[in-house]
Structure 1
Amino acid sequence: MMPSAPRGCGGDRCGSGRDAWPLHNVRHQGVFCRLCSSCVLLYHPAAFCSACVLLLPPASASAASQDPVVAPPGPIAACSSCGLFVAHHTCVPDSVSFVCPTCAAAVEGEVFSYTPAAGGGRRAMDERAARVLLVAARLAHESIARAAAAAREEADRRVREAAVARKHAREMLDAAFRAAEAEAREAKRQPARTVAVATAEPPPKKKTLKSSEASRDRDKLLKLNAMQQPALAFAAAAAAAAAASSMPLPMPSCREDKKPVKQDEQDSADISLRDDRGPLFGTLQS
């Protein structure tokens, strides 16, 4: 069950009573509310003359306006008490000491209303009451028109923002799709690269000496040592003979040690060794 709408005027300190009629939809200070005709006028103090209850003409209006609700242009005076409500100079006896009806009722401790509540019966609609109703309806219409224009402008702004957001979202989706497609292509290429690397020939290994070559080098070293042993023995014998005879003998050079000794040189060395050995042994015997 839908909750029932609140009855009565929603104005602050309304003097028209709870059963005021009719109620106007008005936007006041950004809030939508339902107000009686008197509260609509009280919420727009500078929009009408508080004495004759006619709308003040806008600055751009012409003097020959035929609107019966709009007063002809003329000088106006503000209330000397509140400074909010205004009146024509021709509608008040003294424009300098003018006091609006609202302030005058407040001095007496009463709440002023342009449409006072009927005392237990129906109130007759006279010219002033009709004028109040018509002016209040015009002010309510203008208020709702301004609210509608503001709402339309806000809607247009949000539509533009939504269009920009939609464009950005579409660009982001396109970028995401492109990234996903690129990732899928990369994933398809990855197995092909793996297979290509697996089927590629292994890098050439470093050549190592075979066992036959190693054994051949070892035999060369053994032969070289065998060829150097007689030369070393000869050098040792010559050194011993030189020490015994106290005569220095030339030492073979390193190059000669490394070269193999020929057979004739070895024979001559043996003969000289026998010649030197005879005197040496004779000396030792004597």
Structure 2
Amino acid sequence: MTPPFRPSPSAPGGCGGDRCASGRDAWPLHHFLHEGVFCRLCSSCILLYRPAAFCSACLHLLSTSGAAASAPPGDPAVAPPGPTAPCSACGLSVAHLSCVQGDPASFVCPPCAAAAENMPFSFTPPPPPGVGGRRTLDERDARVLLVAARLAHDAVSRAAAAARVEAERRVAEAAMARKRSREMLDTAFRALEAEAREAKMRPAPPPPPLPQHPKKKTPKSTEVNRDKDRLLKLNAMQQPALAFAAAAAAAAADTSKPLPITPPSMPLPMPPPPPSREVKQEEQGSAPPVPREVRHPLFGTLHS
């Protein structure tokens, strides 16, 4: 069984068929879709890629092929319906029973017969070297060209129809996706408007409280603070007595003026211990003695 031909991955400037025997200058080249790959093939390679679409003996399209379904009635490229026999070697190529010579069970297609003799095969062989690169186009060559053109047209039409269906499917999906996105946007806008209305109706929150600094704790009074308070109170109590003593000393200096007696504004403290003799001597030496008749008793003793 001969495997089907596969297109060549790269064929710059010539036929892209695998093991093409038509030569690099084969004419014309058809746009053909084979197994999802677009390529440029000669007429012989197209027939080799579609062996079940035509009779390998008379080179007419079979009425059961897809290319014959789109052909108008009475098309000369389409053979009338009839029984066929497959190739006994590859099982791919077929031929009319009327075109098979001998036993149909032993029918071998031309490509398999050439492969059995280890020879390249082509439905449009290149011209001999001595002809100058040209070959006359006979009836068989014209039929090969017509059948190849019909098969290439059928393949490209099927690809275009599939692409059109895929494009329409994607357009429908895009329309549905656009509709869903618009609905989602409308829902989101309505939710935002509802939140805005609720925010307007909701009372304003109270302002945040000002930060309060922690109060400084006053240290508890210690023994030293209590002693200072006592000294301050004692000085406040002694200030009137000191003022009265100063006034008495000034009056004693001037004997002509009577000594004013001014009662203290607040009770005097307890008299301190008597001063020493040195302090008395200094006071006696610095100030003249006050006459006895004008000396008045003091409410306290001046203590320096």
Category of TM-score, reference length = shorter chain: 0.5 to 0.7
- Contact 1:65 / 1:72 at 8 angstroms: preserved in 2? no
Q: Tell me which residue corresponds to 1:194.
A: 205
Report the identity percentage. 69
Q: Tell me which residue corresponds to 2:47.
A: 41
Write the mapping of 1:38-117 to structure 2, written as runs, cut at 5 A: 38-58=44-64, 65-94=73-102, 95-117=104-126
Secondary structure of residue in 1 paired with 2:127: coil
Secondary structure of residue in 1 paired with 2:33: strand
> Post-superposition shift, 1:194?
3.2
TM-score, scaled relative to structure 1: 0.62
Q: What is the one-letter code of the residue matched to 1:24?
A: H
Secondary structure of residue in 2 paired with 1:109: coil
Q: What is the one-letter code of the residue matched to 2:95?
A: A
CA–CA separation in structure 2 for the residues paired with 1:71 and 1:22 = 24
Q: What is the one-letter code of the residue matched to 2:109?
A: C
String of CA shifts for 1:109-168, please: whole Å, max 9, x gaps. 122110112233101100000000000000000111111111111111111111111111
CA–CA separation in structure 2 for the residues paired with 1:77 and 1:135 = 20
- Contact 1:50 / 1:85 at 8 angstroms: preserved in 2? yes
> Post-superposition shift, 1:6?
2.6
> Post-superposition shift, 1:193?
4.1
- For structure 1, the residue ranges without an aligned partner over 5 or more in a row are 196-286
Task: Please say if 1:182 is aligned against 2:190.
Answer: no
> Post-superposition shift, 1:11?
1.0
Q: What is the one-letter code of the residue matched to 2:99?
A: C
Q: Tell me which residue corresponds to 1:26.
A: 32
Moved segments of 4+, more than 3 Å: 192-195
TM-score, scaled relative to structure 2: 0.59
Task: Please say if 1:14 is aligned against 2:25.
Answer: no
CA–CA separation in structure 2 for the residues paired with 1:65 and 1:174 = 58
String of CA shifts for 1:67-108, please: whole Å, max 9, x gaps. 100011111100000000000111111211100011111111
> Post-superposition shift, 1:36?
0.5
Which of these residues, 166, 178, 183, is aligned with residue 166 of structure 1? 178
Write the mapping of 1:237-252 to structure 2, written as runs, cut at 5 A: none
CA–CA separation in structure 1 for the residues paired with 2:21 and 2:197 = 79
Q: What is the one-letter code of the residue matched to 1:194?
A: P
Secondary structure of residue in 1 paired with 2:53: coil
> Post-superposition shift, 1:65?
4.2
Q: What is the one-letter code of the residue matched to 1:174?
A: D
Distance 1:184 1:119, change over 3 A: farther
Q: What is the one-letter code of the residue matched to 1:54?
A: H
Whose helix fraction is larger, Structure 1's or Structure 2's?
1
Secondary structure of residue in 1 paired with 2:141: helix
CA–CA separation in structure 1 for the residues paired with 2:26 and 2:178 = 49
CA–CA separation in structure 2 for the residues paired with 1:31 and 1:65 = 31
Q: What is the one-letter code of the residue matched to 1:171?
A: E
Secondary structure of residue in 2 paired with 1:96: helix
Alignment size in residue pairs? 190
CA–CA separation in structure 2 for the residues paired with 1:125 and 1:117 = 12
